[in-house]
Amino acid sequence: MNSIYKGRLTALAQIFLLSVAGSAYGNNTTSHALEYASVGELSAQMERNELTSVALVKHLKARIEALDKQGPAINAIMELNPQAIEIAAALDKEREEGSVRGPLHGIPVLLKDNVDTADNMQTSAGSLAMIGQPAANDAFVVKQLRDAGAVILGKTNMSEWAYVREMGLPHGWSGRGGQGKNPHVLGAEMCGSSSGSAAGVAAGFAPLAIATETNGSITCPASANGVVGVKPTLGLFSRSGIIPITRLQDTAGTMTRTVRDAALMFNALQGVDASDAITSDAPVGVDYTAMLSTDALQGKRIGYATEYVGPGGPELRPGIEFLMALATLEEQGATLIPLTVELPDIDDYVSVLMAGVKHELPEYLASRSGLSIQTLQQLIDFNELNPGSEGYGQQLLKDINELDMSQERAAELFAALNAGFQQAIDEQLTAHNLDAMVAEADGYAQFSAAVAGYPAITLPSGINGDDLPTSVFFYGPRWSEPKLLAMAYSYEQASLELQHPTFKQQ
């Protein structure tokens, strides 16, 4: 067991777990106004001819202008799609003609700024060095969303380069987008790297967003901003057209305000991508809404850690919101199993991820034309000449550029790490006959699910004494998304803990 596990994981968290107040802007009650309506509510209004996609897009654009760039200035949106209204109008016409593509028809969605779109928008990972000719092709997940009838509303801000520019930078900051804010408490932690996707959904800028994660970049910002974040099993969603950290662990995922909306996105985003071989083993044709019910927790056995074993393991002190979440699970018919969880060794983990950036980022850059950089060295040189007003450094990028590790060696080392974390989770599931595991947002469970490549769902569990969201974290074995979504839905419907932000000044 690694004797400095806790300290090293804290450092990893800094890198990869984070890969105008008052009622004038929001409230803490459930709202069915357009900005906070679910996909089902919006679709029902469109079906009754009470709402058009064009009207919805205009409404959300006006809200973004009022709250993202002015007022509390959340700064969650990198840029808006200038074609969004045109796309919405075409989808409205399809609906008028009796053709509806599905539940996402006419529904706006935001994309993290590391997801390619073949339109007038940039794909920059938050870096000024990436401004130039837009991508030539849509990412596979973008094509899927367009085919499903979603309206690409815009790109969201993110921690620059998915937080691999420099350790210690503020989470949610990028050179291109500036500093994002948590819409609940403007000066509070918003986490990253999918900070803008989480904050934008929380603030009512869109009902849906695409996020990405290497380790914690969906689960952490979803928790901090009080939304539903789902990281799928590695291989369920394509990574083609997404700026990489490493394909050994990268995945796209979803940010929504409800579990059902996440399930609807999963229905649209599943599918085999010939250009991403890892998707070849993924289940297809699954209806991720089919198991959603208020009694999905009945008879389920759910484990939760009461102790992490190993030198440097943290002392668990669960918050009142997590204890209440456990009580809700029991009230809904679940049997809770306390667990002692052993922390696997994480030797070489940082080097493996750094090697991914070193080898895979240049491959991505080679796929783009019309950019000022094609190599890591050119990126570093650009940043030296264009440090920005904040003057932030880029030591991590320099360390990555100087790293001497082949892709083959990185894959070999990661295989052992991946197997160790899978075994640690699988042994608990098997030994205690568990359907899933649950945790507070302690970072250790998030880290474990990420390295194992296993699915995980973060959803709101309340608001703490600092007026910040708290969360509960469900995770389970490979391809267990239908069951996890169902259990999360049952908890969500029983707890009703989603609370909209008040844009409070700290």
Residue 11 lies in a domain: no
Helix (H) or strand (E) holding 50: none
Confidence check: pLDDT of 267 > 50? yes
- Cβ neighbors of 105 (< 8 A, separation 6 or more) are 43, 46, 53, 91, 94, 95, 148, 149, 150
The pTM of this model reads 0.94
Tell me the residue range of the domain where 26 lies: 16-283+290-495
Mean pLDDT, residues 444-471: 96
Q: How far apart are CA 174 and CA 129, in angstroms?
A: 11
Residue 275 lies inside a defined structural domain of this protein: yes
pLDDT at residue 14 is higher than 70 = no
372, part of any domain: yes
Q: Is residue 9 part of a domain?
A: no
The full DSSP string for 318-333 is --HHHHHHHHHHHHTT
The answer to whether residue 236 sits within a structural domain is yes
Please state, for a pLDDT cut of 90, what percent of the chain lies above it: 89
**Which residues have CB under 8 Å from 99's CB, separation 6+?**
none
- What is residue 107's DSSP assignment? -
Question: Which residue(s) pair with 304 in the sheet?
Answer: 338, 438
Is residue 500, in this structure, part of any structural domain at all? no
Amino acid letter, residue 313: G
Which DSSP helix (H) or strand (E) runs through 123?
none
Mean pLDDT of 168-189: 97
Task: Identify the pLDDT of residue 443.
Answer: 84
CA distances for 275 relative to 214, 238, 249, 272, 279, angstroms: 19, 8, 17, 9, 9
Cis status of the peptide bond prior to 193, with omega within 30 of 0:
yes
Residue 73 lies in a domain: yes
For residue 335, what are the β-bridge partners?
A: 301
By three-state DSSP, how is residue 239 classified? coil
Catalytic residues: 112, 193, 217
Question: What's the CATH code of the domain at 214?
Answer: 3.90.1300.10
Residue 30: its pLDDT value, please?
35
Report the number of distinct structural domains present in the chain. Answer: 1
pLDDT in tens, 17-28: 333 223 334 443
CA angle in degrees (0–180, nearest 5) for 416-420-423: 135
pLDDT band at 493; cut points 50, 70, 90: very high
Residue 463 lies in a domain: yes
